[in-house]
Amino acid sequence: MKTILLSTILSVFAIIGFLFTPGEPVPGAEVYIRQEGNNQPAAFMQTGDNGKVTFSHLTSGVYRIEVTLPQQSGKLMRGRDNIDCELQVGYHSDKKQYFLREPEGFFTFNYSKIKRLENKNITPVYNLFYDGDVKVVEIGKFEASSNNASFTLEMRAQKPKKFEKMVEKVKSDIEMVTIRNAR
């Protein structure tokens, strides 16, 4: 009986968490993990229907996280020119949340289930480059402190006004960092 009750409570919390997570999952976004000094991807995955991807079994070393941004449309782009938000890129280290505003849309990236990474966090980075005709954005860098390092990345598209409100809510927080293009 206790097991059924606990299972039901956990299911309700999972549904509530899903309903109150802002934005819409971004399925099919390409995410690359490249080890420093090597142009070939150490790992590649596409985000699932829930906008998440998990990388595991990473060996010791320094890695970069690169993503492609699917073009957003409809309600996710409506009003994009009418918001009062100058932030293009920012990172909240306590929440492990990365904010990105690009012509393709307004995105948030959340890191979770971080294991065996130096400082138990991702260092925010912002670099744009093209791989042929494909625009790629480098959003992070991390050091795997031992073998079997892992983390989960969740990518969500935000409505412009919601993005503005999310940034406004955390922008004065001491943990919020604005990132400039490093290239």
Instruction: Report the percent of the chain where pLDDT is more than 70.
Output: 85
Closest C-alpha to 111, from 60, 173, 52, 50: 52
With bands split at pLDDT 50, 70 and 90, how would you rate the model's confidence at 172?
confident
The string of pLDDT tens digits covering residues 24-41 is: 999 999 999 999 989 899
The DSSP output letter for 68 is: -
The string of pLDDT tens digits covering residues 82-129 is: 888 888 899 998 899 999 999 999 999 999 999 999 988 899 999 999
Distance of alpha carbon 133 from alpha carbon 31, whole angstroms: 16
Distance of alpha carbon 177 from alpha carbon 175, whole angstroms: 6
Give the pLDDT score at 19.
41
Measured CA angle at 61 (ends 60, 67), to 5 deg: 115
With bands split at pLDDT 50, 70 and 90, how would you rate the model's confidence at 171?
confident
Size of the chain, expressed as the number of residues it contains: 183
Give the pLDDT score at 122.
93
Which pTM was predicted?
0.84
